[in-house]
Structure formats: C-alpha cells, structure tokens
Structure 1
Amino acid sequence: MNAADLLSFFEERFEEVDAYVDLLEELEKAAQDGAPRLHGTMYKISATQQRILYSSLYLQLYNLVEATVSRCVDAITQAAGHAGQWKPHQLNGELQREWVRSIARTHTDMSPEHRLKYAMQLSDHIVQQLPVAQFSVEAGGGGNWDDEAIFAMGKRLGCMISITAQTRRVVKANMRDDLGPLKLVKDRRNGLAHGSISFVDCADGVAVEELRRMAASVESYLREVIDCFIRYIESHNFLRPDCRPNGGAP
C-alpha cells in the first residue's frame, strides 16, 4: 500500500465502524420502549445480547488501529524500495537500521549456519551496491497498540508523530477506568481476547453515546497519524537529508 492509498483505506474501514455505531444507536432507541423485536418475528433482543453487540465495537476499533499502523509502516518500506531508486546508504539512520534487521534477520532465532547465510547476503548487497528492494518491518502489535505505542513506532522509523493539541487532549482524557480512548480500546480488546472479561461485563453501564465519542476520538487521532506518515513519505524523509529530492522537509 502506497501513501496515496492510506487515507482511502482508512475511510473505507471507518465507514464500517460508523455504520455499526448507527446500528447500535437505533437498537438503543428501540430498547427504550422495551426489548426490541426482529421485524416479522416474535424474537426479542435481550439486554444481554445488546451488551454483547456493544462490546464488539472495541474489537472492531482495535482491528482498525492495528490495520492502520501496519499499512502506514508498509507504505514506508514500499516507498524506500520503489523502482529500485534508493541504495541502503541513502536511507535515514532509523530506516537503515530496520533494513539491516530485515535483510540479516538479526532478531530471528536460527542456527549459526543460517545466520552466516543471511550475513553473507547482506554483505553481497552492500558490496555490489544493490538498490533497496521491498522489505518488511516487524511492527509487532499483538494487542499492544495505543497512542504511546504508535508514537514509539513512528520514532523507531524516524517519523515524528505530531498531533494537534486538541486531539492530544481528547486522546489523553479519561473516558473510563482512568483510560483514554485508545488505551481503553486496547484494554477492552485484550480483556475480551484473553477471556479475562466477558462480552456482557465489558459493556456494563456503557451507552452508545460513549461508544460514539470513543470511535470519534480514535478516528481523529488516526487521521492525524496517517497525515504524519503521508508527509514523511512524500517529503522523502525516509532518506538522509542530503539524499532527499529538493532537500525534503525537516
């Protein structure tokens, strides 16, 4: 995925989130007059089922966060390897480190012979002055993505995540259990994924208005994160300053 596709991907995925919150909102309105019924049947949607549906939004939002970060990282490595334009020595220090880590598999457990094999491949690449091909960055994640982890990933790649003061206040503001929106999404997702909290208990006392605010906070934050990655790529800040076309941007 290139930089131009990042925003369209995000908007498409967030439309799904928005549509789901709309559904929950209509369900909540219907429940004010008693247990909602499915049209054409006598089946009633219970309060327990309603909570289960509410809790599913945490999973949906966390998946959006993780997918967005993954695609932003991939867009950087694609830009670095695009059309064989750039050599390893032209990458900025942070991305060059990630390139070496990927090519030499420095953080992978393997036998001495296999380690030597990848070290030789790295050596050949440098000696022959080959261009950077597409490589991967081990983004990790696994239930750990929140605003602090995203900032750390940006720093690791040399991409400063600069968020407006208004969005920062929203992201850091306590939403529930002394957690901001992104940390709350991560916490609830992990609780559900590991079975430490049930879907019913997860949404105890939660109203759709809170869920919509949470989704809106995640949306505004991720939009600004995407903008940071797009500027980083389009300004060629993944390269050393002296190698950037037109000098790049600071």
Structure 2
Amino acid sequence: MDTTQFEDRVVEIESYIDLLKVVESAAQSGPPEIGNSAITTCQQRMLYSSVYLHLYNLVEATATWCTSAVTEATAAGQAWKLEQLDSAVRREWLRTNLRTHTQLNPSNRLSTSFVVCESILNGAPIEEWGIERGGGGNWDDGAIENISERVGCVLKIATATKSAAKRPFRDDKNAFQYVKELRNKLAHGSISFEQSGENVTVQDLVDLKNRTVNYLREVLQSFENYVASHMYLESGARHSLAGSP
C-alpha cells in the first residue's frame, strides 16, 4: 500500500500554512502586502478558510485509499474466490454486488441477484470492485472507524493521537467534526469564506492540522498492516498463501 500520495498532500497543506504564517506575521506591523497591493482582513480570512477544504480533501482521500487497497488486494493476481475472503470483506462484496443499499425494482433486483448467484456457483475469481462508502461530505473520525470495522480492519491508534483527535477543538466538536462541518457549510453556501476564517489564528490551524494528519497517518498504517498481513482473507487462505501446512 503506497502512502506517498498521503504524504504529498500533507506537504501541500503544510506549505499553504507556511504561507499563512508569513501573512499573519506581516500583519503584526500593518496590512501585509504582495507587491504594492495590501492584503485586506477579508482576504486574509478567506485564505485561512481554505485550510478546512485542504484538510477535508485529505480525510476523504484517506478513506478512498484505504478501502481501495482492500478491494484491489482481493482482486490482484491470486484469483481469490468469494469463499476465501474474510467474512467481513465477503459481506461488503455482497453488499456492493447485490446493491443491497440501492432502490431497485423487482426485475432489476432479480437480475442483479442472478448474476451474483451465477458468479458464486461457477466459482468465479473476484474481479475489480469497490466498497460502497456512502455519499461525500460525511467523512469524519466516526465514519472512518465505521468503514474500518465493516472490513474487519482493527485501527491501532496511539492513545495520545486518538485523544488529540477526539478532544473538542471548537464548538464542542472534535477536529474531524469541525473540519467536516466547515467544509459542508462552505460547500452548501450557508457560510461565506470570510465568515469561516473569522476568530482563528494560524496556530489554531496548525493545531487542527496536526490532530487530523496524525490520526489519518495511523489509520493508513493500520490498513497497510491489514493488507500486508492478508487479513482480508479467511484464515485458511492466509495460511495457504504463507505456505503454512
């Protein structure tokens, strides 16, 4: 499981925050300037608000990378069959392919079920598929923990990291909940970019970034270990893969 994309996006966020530090520092001695043009308070707040979008982008991307790593592993090279998958992953495969959470008319429901039954009866190998993750805009630490549990991946998060992520950041919401709320308010137009950047300092944003990034990094590490240990397979298939008697 390649975590390069994650670290690249963290660098993007940190580079952006470095820019905000320069702007905030310059503002201590008067309106900061770019060339001969002053940066207004409104513009400075708008710059701050973009951090919420950067962080939410990283949260949802992490969920995508983790679930994709699981499904890609089940369909990669070994021609695994449904009965060889771990029961949690098998359940997700059925959920996706039977479209259990999609409204279908009786005819389409029958057709979908028939195709799945044929695949199982013929012992067809698992082909490319995707886990149904739900609609966008709803990702926070709780949603990540839920999808991890659904595929049977035990998240191993250090106590300090988990405590920081869960501790209220603002308005009785933890870091993930606050990022999600601000992102959704901006996306749906219920708040302006200037408003979302009010009453916040760059140090606040650094704290928010650290709480979010540190937790996500350990989520990725948990999924990386899960895939490397072939925990998406049932025990017999894992032993066979490892060459155990």
Q: TM-score range by the shorter chain?
A: over 0.9
1:15 aligns with 2:6: no
* Range 207-216 or range 78-87, more displaced: 78-87
Alignment of structure 1 residues 26-41 onto 2, 5 Å: 26-39=22-35
Equivalent of residue 176 in structure 1, options 162, 170, 175: 170
Whole-Å separation in 1 of the counterparts to 2:106 and 2:173: 45
Gaps of 5+ in 2: none
Write out per-residue CA displacement over residues 50-82 of structure 1, whole angstroms, 9 at most, x where no aligned residue. 001100100110011001111110110000111
Write out per-residue CA displacement over residues 199-220 of structure 1, whole angstroms, 9 at most, x where no aligned residue. 1121211000110111111111
8 A contact 1:79–1:233 mirrored in 2:
yes
The aligned residue for residue 201 of structure 2 is: 207
The aligned residue for residue 91 of structure 1 is: 85
Q: What is the identity, as a one-letter code, of the residue corresponding to 2:99? A: R
Give how far 1:113 is off: 2.1
Whole-Å separation in 1 of the counterparts to 2:117 and 2:200: 57
Equivalent of residue 130 in structure 2, options 116, 126, 136: 136
Q: What is the identity, as a one-letter code, of the residue corresponding to 1:64? A: L
Equivalent of residue 241 in structure 1, options 212, 231, 235: 235
Identity of aligned residues (%): 41
Give how far 1:141 is off: 4.5
8 A contact 1:241–1:247 mirrored in 2:
no
1:221 aligns with 2:215: yes
Whole-Å separation in 2 of the counterparts to 1:102 and 1:171: 31
3-state SS of 1:175 partner: strand
8 A contact 1:80–1:238 mirrored in 2:
yes
Q: What is the identity, as a one-letter code, of the residue corresponding to 2:229? A: S
1:68 aligns with 2:65: no
* Range 80-89 or range 65-74, more displaced: 80-89
Write out per-residue CA displacement over residues 12-70 of structure 1, whole angstroms, 9 at most, x where no aligned residue. 1111101100011111111111111112xx32110011001100100110011001111
The aligned residue for residue 183 of structure 2 is: 189
3-state SS of 2:37 partner: coil
Give how far 1:162 is off: 2.2
8 A contact 1:52–1:203 mirrored in 2:
yes
Q: What is the identity, as a one-letter code, of the residue corresponding to 2:119? A: H
Whole-Å separation in 2 of the counterparts to 1:237 and 1:226: 15
Runs of 4+ residues over 3 Å off in structure 1? 245-248
